[in-house]
């Protein structure tokens, strides 16, 4: 699938103010600085559609983008950023957990993991929470350009084996880079496949 049009719709702190739930929606989540906003720009062929920064905590809102006039792509705030993670539900932030638990048209959540890191407690706990809440998710490993092919494959093997100690079935996984555009086709084709299965990006029954 190619993205022909991507337009910013609205930013909110409250999921209730998000656009009508009549389109399929794909959201990007992960620790601050993992590369969520950069990945969205890479997928949509934009430099600045989603705001990026070298400093963690850049994205503080739920940002909706309308893609190909059919489906929503959502940039979410990062979790695990000290300034915002204290005294909030489950440590992931109330904005995030309210959005995840209530947004009916959320079709797939992409959990982003920096491919250079060994499995982190907060990511494992977050995926555990998604499992318990029944939210379909996939993993996207980011920043693949930062590792050589050997280190990259070692890191992936290690991550998968750690995941396998907790999960009977591993989620779908992608490897990506906002620098080299690795993973772009695979991720967009995966979204396209789901859109086709569920009705071209619309939610006919809602």
Q: Which residues bind Mg ion (CB under 5 A)?
A: 36-37, 58-59
CB-nearer residue toward ligand GTP: 138 or 200: 138
CB-nearer residue toward ligand GTP: 58 or 184: 58
Minimum Å gap between C-beta 35 and Mg ion is 8
CB-nearer residue toward Mg ion: 58 or 103: 58
Interaction partner, residue 145 (ligand GTP, Mg ion, none; CB < 5-8 Å by kind): ligand GTP
Minimum Å gap between C-beta 186 and ligand GTP is 15
Interaction partner, residue 149 (ligand GTP, Mg ion, none; CB < 5-8 Å by kind): none
Cβ count within 10 A of residue 165: 8
Phi first, then psi, for residue 195 (nearest 5°) are -55, -45
Minimum Å gap between C-beta 81 and ligand GTP is 7
CB-nearer residue toward Mg ion: 36 or 184: 36
195 and 70 in contact (C-beta within 8 Å)? yes
Minimum Å gap between C-beta 142 and ligand GTP is 5
Residue nearest to Mg ion (CB): 59
CB-nearer residue toward Mg ion: 23 or 36: 36
Residue nearest to ligand GTP (CB): 78
Minimum Å gap between C-beta 199 and ligand GTP is 30
- In the complex, the residues that contact ligand GTP under the rule CB under 6 A are 32-38, 52-54, 56-59, 77-78, 142-143, 145-146, 177-179
Say how many CA atoms lie within 13 Å of 128 toward its Cβ: 12
CB-nearer residue toward Mg ion: 49 or 152: 49
Rounded to whole angstroms, how far apart are CA atoms 16 and 18? 6
């Amino acid at each position: 699938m190619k993205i022909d049009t991507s337009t910013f719709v609205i930013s909110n702190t409250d999921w209730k103010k998000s656009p009508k739930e009549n389109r399929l929606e794909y959201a990007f989540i992960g620790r601050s600085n993992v590369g969520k906003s950069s990945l969205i720009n890479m997928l949509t062929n934009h430099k600045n559609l989603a705001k990026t920064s070298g400093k963690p905590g850049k994205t503080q809102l739920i940002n909706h983008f309308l893609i190909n006039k059919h489906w929503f792509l959502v940039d979410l705030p990062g979790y695990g950023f000290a300034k915002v993670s204290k005294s909030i539900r489950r440590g992931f932030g109330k904005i995030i957990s309210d959005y995840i638990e209530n947004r009916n048209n959320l079709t797939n959540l992409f959990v982003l993991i920096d491919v250079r890191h060994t499995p982190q407690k907060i990511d494992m706990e977050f995926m555990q929470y998604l499992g318990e809440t029944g939210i379909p998710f996939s993993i996207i490993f980011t920043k693949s350009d930062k590792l050589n092919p050997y280190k990259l494959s070692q890191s992936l093997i290690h991550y998968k084996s750690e995941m396998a100690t907790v999960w009977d079935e591993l989620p779908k996984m992608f490897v990506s880079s906002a620098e080299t555009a690795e993973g772009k086709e695979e991720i967009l084709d995966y979204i396209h496949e789901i859109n086709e299965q569920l009705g071209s990006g619309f939610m006919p029954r809602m």
